[in-house]
Amino acid sequence: METTSRGEAYGQYLWVYAVLLALGTIIPFFRIVPWLVDHGLDVRLFVDELFANPVSSFFALDVIMAVVTLLVLAVLDRGLSSRQRIAVGLTALLGASVGLPAYLAIREWNRRTAIA
């Protein structure tokens, strides 16, 4: 059985995070783009539909709290540069499914470059 070095393992993690980031961007956009085409940027309607029932409210609040938690984590993570914090913040605005893999990829990139 072949073993991999720690640096190679980090490279594999980066690949996984990149795939998750791509999927986290593409899959939700398949649902929001048709809605935007039909309704435009009607924020009031968007919020009304987002909180239309208890189940959708649960998921909306869950995602909002996940993004807030991610933003706090990025601010407190002293291993990130200012630019990296901004990148995490901008990707988190697209949702937790984009922001979290971006944050994890940046952290792994920093660890990988620290090892090299």
Each residue's pLDDT tens digit, 96-114? 999 999 999 999 999 888 8
Per residue in 11-26, pLDDT tens?
A: 789 999 999 999 999 9
**Secondary structure string (H, E, C) spanning the chain:** CCCCCHHHHHHHHHHHHHHHHHHHHHHHHHHHHHHHHHHCCCHHHHHHHHCCCHHHHHHHHHHHHHHHHHHHHHHHCCCCCHHHHHHHHHHHCCCHHHHHHHHHHHHHHHHHHHHC
**Which residues, including other chains, have CB under 8 Å from residue 19's CB and lie 6 or more apart?**
none
Alpha-carbon Rg of the chain, whole angstroms? 17
Domain limits, the chain? 6-111
Yes or no: say if 91 and 98 are a contact pair by the CB < 8 Å rule: yes
pTM, 2 dp:
0.84
Q: What is the pLDDT of residues 45-96, one digit of tens each?
A: 999 999 999 999 999 999 999 999 999 999 999 999 999 999 999 999 999 9
